Structure 1
Amino acid sequence: MEKVYFYRIVVALMILTLLGCGFNKSDLVGIKGVAPLSKKEYDSLREIIFFSLEPERASKVMFRLSKEAKLVTDEHELIKRYRLMVWYYLMSSDFEKGDVILDKLQKYYSDYNRWSDYVSISKVRAISYRGREKYDEIEKVLKEAIEISEEKDVHPYDLLPIHELSVFYSYDLGKHEEAVKYGDMFFEKLKQYDTITSPDKIRVLDSIKKQNLDVINLTLAKSYTQTNRLDKAYECLKYAEKGFGDIDDVEKIMRVYSNFIDYYLKKEDLDKVEAYKEKYLEYSKRNNDSLISSLRKMTETNLTLVTKEKDGVVVKEENKRKLLIIGSLGTFLLLVIIFQRYFLRLKYEKEKIRLELENEQDFKKFRASLFINIAHEIRTPLSLILGYIDLSADKSISGDELRKYLGEIRRKSNKVINNISDIIALLREDKKEENIRLENVIIEPFLQQLFFSFESIAKIKNIELNYSVELPVNFTLQTNLNKLESLVNNLVSNAIKFSQKNTKVTFIAFIEDDLFHIQVIDQGSGISEENQKNIFSKFYQEDKKGKSEGFGIGLAIVKDIVDNLKGTITVESKPNEGASFKVQFPIVNDEELLEDTEVVSKQLKNKSNVSTTYANTVSNKGSKVLIVEDNPYMVDYYEKILSPIYSCEFAFNGEEGLEKLGEKQFDLVVSDVMMPKMNGIEFRKEMKKFPENENIPFIMVTALGYEENKVEAFNIGVDDYVVKPFSKNELIARINCLLENKEKRESWMKQVKETEKEVETFEEKNLKRLQEIVLENIDKESFSVSLLAEEVNFSQRQLERIIKKLTGLTPVKFILEVRLQEAYKKIKNKEEADINNVRYSVGIKSASYFSVKFKQRFGISPSELLKAG
């Protein structure tokens, strides 16, 4: 009886709770009916899916369309929604779902004999295949669309597959004769359609021209250039330049100018190459600014979504709490039981929310760290791109040197693009298995050339390259050359990057047990046993002091390549004993290896003398500059632009930099921030512990341009702060300014000490008196050279001769020097409340004049010195 009575009370409580709280009607509201989509509404939804940078809006549109697709009864209205949905799937790279929708669309258009739409959607199918590099399928679907166009007379829609096929042959396959063939076909049909009179078809034709005419001209220009039909290429380029210029399509204009560069290289007109290179750079900067703005907007949107999710969790828990409180009022008999359950559950939910918030904070930190590291990885090659552009702008260089620099610009640009592509590929959780295209390659010459391409980089760190390969003569391996190249590049560049100076990197290749083996061995810092379990994970970085640039995708890419090629990879390493990466691939050649096949054995070392390194490149030219940088490509660039001007020495981390400073005196130090063992911030702090290093000017070079990073740098005594990417002239100008200020400061201090000697000459006494007079009148802006001359009973000419002889300065600059020295002392010692008070106290009323002269004199602005002090 007691049990039955208890259950009755519980049921009564639930009824009272529901009556007290009511229903949330918004939760029960669904889509009752589906209204037809007007053209205006269709275009609006298409705009959101195509161009919106807010994932939330696009997701809401897709949610609505998928719901309506389930409820709509009109097949024609369903097809409209499918057209929008397939674009969403393509934009989000969900090709599997996109294929399902495309199959339905093509069946519908075929069943209803809507061949114009069938041909139009074939172009969309080709774009879907391009995203997966299914080139055979692209060619098949486009040629099928052309055949249907001829049979069904769907003009002017037949222009679409012809246009797409021309672009496909030019950009995807590099078959430029085929590209020209279909491009000419496009224009021939376009002339035929000038006689169209139907308003609907005229509207379609105008739309096709608007979207495709400039693109086909750009495509033909590329193919004409490659096939040496330069007159036709020029006409197409000028047409495309005008078309894309009228709509200010920055990315397409960049492609036009890139093709102009190739065109004039073919014509060997280097002046025109220079002109279009400058135009390309101008639009490249605009494009970078646009990308950065888009990334910032996407980041802000993601942060908003995370905040909304957190608020949703809190609101949900509040609602639960109210339900429990109101329900508890339903019966006094179960009050104790209800509150006991309520508090236990509330405690559990609070703990759950706390854990969720902690996870969210960890995610935010990871995301912030990821974006910062991405900025590091991208800004370094951007710095090199701008640097090589500066070098190629020199009119005195030869054509071979220009082509070399342009090649470096192209390679570094491709590195930026590949880095972004690798990030996107690794971030995708729904990544499908790639369709790898294999080819037969005589592998040994390829491996040798690839390995020794790192020779110049290894030379910078005095690293010996050993190449040991034992393979059958002309051994052919069936593999994907691009994937294998990326794998070897990542393994060898990592080995060099993490190796110390005067060590060795070894590359081994051989065949054993029907497996092709590759092994890369270094003598670097090694990998701990614990970290070996994680090094192939996405974005994993070993927690080491100082850290180096990079965001942990190199070995993840290697693992992905090995998996796609059906191989295996292992690592053997101990801390401080180097690492050995071993890769094995199955040999899938049609012909089996014969046991008595002649084997060629190659054991090679660096072809050049590795004993000469940039670290030892010292000359007697100019001032002595120490450059601390761990990236070998940046070291190579620094050597090119700074060694002709200064006497440069190089160190690869903060610890090596301190050793160099202990061995000799330098006039200036340039240091990166992110470095292994000891980073730039730690390096500067350690420098300041030694009095002899206190007055050495210090320039910090970094990818972090945020205000808080600058403040931190100036607080530890950094004299200047250069943000990547930077130009050659900017860096040299900053170095010269600091060196000049250092020289003036030392000269002045020397003269001040000399004036303090017990035995002073008549002129030195006069100089001391002059300094005292200026200090007595320092707050008077009107105090001039003529007034100073009156005070000491000299003519202005005598005064100028004495000051010039003792200080090397004119009287005007001497008065300004005394004012600035006094201002520096007051700011450093915080003798005044703010900068304005200091400025007036030394007789300078113009804020801009004071700031400019102070920065020129001391290499730091007054406000930065005040913060640093």
Structure 2
Amino acid sequence: MYFGSVNGLISFNPDKFIQNNYQPPIYITNIQINNQDVSVKKNNSPLETSITFSENIELNNQQSTFSLEFASLSYTAPEMTKYWYKLEGLNENWIPIGKNHKVSFNELPAGDYTFKVKAFNSHGVWSNENSSLKIEVLPPFLSSNLAYAFYAALLILIIFFLLRYYHRYNRDKNNLRIQQLENDKEKEIYQAKIEFFTNIAHEIRTPLTLIKSPLEKLLSLKYNSLEIPKNLGIMERNTSRLLNLVNELLDFRKTEMKHVKLSFVEVNISQLLEETHIRFSQLIKDKNIHFDITKKEKDIYAFVDEEATRKILSNLFSNAIKYCEYHVQVQLEKTEDHFRIIVQNDGEKIPLELKQRIFEPFFRVPGETKKSGTGIGLSLAHSLAELHHGKLFINSNNLSLNEFVLQIPLHQDNEFRAFKNQPKEVKESDEIIRKFDNDSALILVAEDNPELADFILNELSEKYNVIVASNGKEAWKAICTYEVDIVISDVMMPFKSGIELCKEIKEDIDKSHIPVILLTAKSALNAKIEGLESGADAYISKPFSLNHLQVQISNLLQNRKSIIGHYNSSPLAHLKSLSLATSDKSFISKLDQKIDDNLKDTNLNVEMLARHMNMSRSTLYRKIKDISNLSPNELINESRLKKAAYLLKTSNLKIYEISEKVGFKSQSSFGRSFQKHFSMTPSEFIDQDHNI
């Protein structure tokens, strides 16, 4: 074939053309991610080396849109080369792209892929080697294996907690059902008890009535002896009191059945609060808690049913003391129309959701079942408050303490002014003093029950001088005024208890020698131990036999006389043998030491001894007289003689030397005194064959 050109003709023979059989290699020359060229080892770059030499790359889920460029390394008509590619994992067929040597992928799903490419040159020869690149597209974190592991663990935990909740729900449901059954059972038992006690009360009331009627008849008769009507009066009053208690039990049953009617009379609420506090004072002391009463006004009067109000206060006090930790606070305040009593305690807080249920009959706060109680006290108090047209509730605004608030109107619709109940004053009464017989012992009776005090006074007055005091404060005043030989005290008294009075006596050096007998209605062993630990010489439980009390008094007085008699009659008896009470030992020891140190002084007398003892002359005289039945000068003289008797028996000193050692001015004076006291001369005492 010939072709013309400006330079002449060009000829060639097509049959003589050489076919291009070269199979050029194919290389990936570039990668773009999100239309941006990717450099090696840059931030977020998947390339560790050039893309041409990379066998695999790893792309995150933000790099799933990318393009690849590739080229066949043939310089013979490269523009005539055609390309095919496939992406294994996405499609398995070769896709022709003609002469284009770039392919793009948009948002590839997460997974593993293999990119392959091949070429077809201008002479129809396929490339011998296909270029390939492994591509891994990572999923987002929420679709990663770690996320799926977290989902699995979370699912397992959810299933676990659901099963646990289901188990606890069933357990609590069963426990609640059991508790409900127990409550129902307790109600049945309680109703049975109430029925039992009601029936017993009915049975008791009949014989009490039969006892009371003959007593009243006997009281109407005249007797020659004054003791008979007095004793019959005591029996009648206590029979009436027992009958009233039985009637109160029946009234309680009526309260439960909503059949009770209240009598509203004017009552001193302040005084009623104080009386309730006194009744609980021993329990407060036993629990060692701090109990405060705050009254904004001295006396607050209101028209209430006194017995019902007393029951409300008793339940509130008992509840507060039972469940408190260390402190109970009671406040009494008055508004224009109401009075309010606030009782706070620092016990475990009552949940707010239970503030209404706490007043339901037989309901008890969960977790408090170990403490004794029936669960009816607050319910009864709540019902009685409502019968007063008032309310009893828990103040939920106090977040730190349990606070019960009793609010009752000052006036009621039906008031009984004509039969107003006069408040029983707890006051300091004057002691009752009988005419003293100087030859009889003086006994102080401290008892707040006037009937019992009068009974003891009448029975003991036949043999002893008796003083009666109605409370501990008056009793202490009487002890300081009179030379009391024995104190008989009730444990529970206003102003000062018997235990406190006993401790005060035993801790006072001037009065510690006085024997104390405690009377109490508490027969528990720990109560007796507490009484004896306070220094009491005897502890008698109520009800007691009068003969028992009289024998106890006689024994204490006789023991004192025996000890004093032994000391006076025995030449070698030591002064310390006079100490009966532990509290007297320190006084006796000090007195003995001071006398012994100054025995040689012929001028030793009561004034000098009082200075050495740091006491007044009158106090020392009274103390020595009470302990030894001797005056101080007589005691000094006896101490000289007993010291002389001891030296005569244990030393080789001459009689005149001993008389000088014990403070006698002459041997003749010593001999006369020794013979007068011991009915023998010093020489005869030495010659005795036996020891005294």
Shared fold, TM over 0.5: no
Instruction: Identify, as 1 or 2, the structure richer in strand.
Output: 2
Instruction: Identify, as 1 or 2, the structure richer in helix.
Output: 1
Q: Compute the TM-score of the two structures, normalised by the length of structure 2.
A: 0.37
Q: Whose relative contact order is higher, 1 or 2, with alpha carbons under 8 Å and at least 6 apart?
A: 1
Which entry has the higher C-alpha Rg, 1 or 2? 2
Q: Compute the TM-score of the two structures, normalised by the length of structure 1.
A: 0.31
